[in-house]
Amino acid sequence: MLPVFRRAHIVCRCAESLLLVLLLGAILIHVAPAQTDADITVHLAVRSTTGKRLVPSTNSPVVVWLSPIGAGGQADLSLKPGTGKSFQMVQKDKMFQPHLLVVPTGSVVAFPNRDPFFHNVFSLFNGRRFDLGLYEIGNSHSFPFTREGISYIFCNIHPDMGAVIVSVATPYFVVANQESVQLRQVPPGDYLLKVWAEDATAASIEKASRRITIGADNYDAGVVNIVLQPRQMHTDKFGKPYSQHPEGAPY
């Protein structure tokens, strides 16, 4: 039988070894956490209806986003990741600034008037339809974007004013001004890849949408083809052509 002091020494050494293993494991977990998110690459091929190759740019961007697909196999558009967030689209020099604004659903967008005349902001398309009415310099009206969609923004007084607000029910989106873009740190799961570009044909946008499954590794979603058509003149908020305003009117 081992002496008492010898047995105590062995127990102490075992305890020290166990403590060392636990400390080493904790250090490794802290220094090198498991990487579970992935970077998703999307390639954009943009052409006109005549076949001319076009390149996404700051003046002609493409919006790319990933909508999570729920257990029912449908994109979950009920998410409200932007609740409480505020954005601005300023009316200045008879322009909307910025021309393109991408916001998470649940966001509120303000439309301040900084021109020395009246404006009447409205939207009559498939995003959220609204009419903010007539208001002058120094005033600002706001509107909540509570669901996913594309809202084409106009002024009922000035036909040359136009802008777009894209509201998306996901935090995974990017505004692309080049032919290849990345959506970074996307968790594994099933997603619906969507794109939008101003003047894109409905057929090319629908065809570009696709379901993808993301794992823990970086993923290349391939090429998305977009066809742009000539821009059409929009109507006023009543669906009629813009008329000439009388001389001397305050706009």
pLDDT tens for the chain, 251 residues long, are: 545 445 444 444 545 554 454 555 554 445 444 558 999 999 999 999 999 999 999 889 999 999 999 766 566 565 555 666 899 999 999 999 999 999 999 999 999 999 999 999 999 877 778 999 999 999 999 999 988 999 999 999 999 999 999 999 999 999 999 999 999 999 999 999 999 999 999 999 999 999 999 998 999 999 999 999 998 888 999 989 987 554 334 44
Report if residue 187 sits inside a domain. yes
Domain hosting residue 136, numbered range: 38-74+86-228
Whether residue 111 is contained in a domain is answered as: yes
User: Who contacts 78 (Cβ-Cβ below 8 Å, separation ≥6)?
Assistant: 169
The total domain count for the chain is 1
Angstrom distance (rounded) from CA 123 to CA 190: 32
Within-domain flag for 20: no
CATH code of the domain containing 214: 2.60.40.420
- pTM metric for this prediction: 0.80
* C-alpha to C-alpha distances, 155 to 92, 131, 231, 239, nearest whole angstrom: 12, 10, 17, 13
Does 67 map to a domain?
yes
* Residue-level pLDDT at 34: 54
Euclidean distance between CA atoms 196 and 194, whole angstroms:
7
Q: Do the beta carbons of residue 190 and residue 174 sit within 8 Å?
A: no
- 250: in domain: no
Residues in CB range of 180: below 8 A, 6 or more apart: 41, 42, 43, 44
Considering the domain boundaries, does residue 16 fall inside one? no
Is residue 136, in this structure, part of any structural domain at all? yes
Q: Is residue 241 part of a domain?
A: no
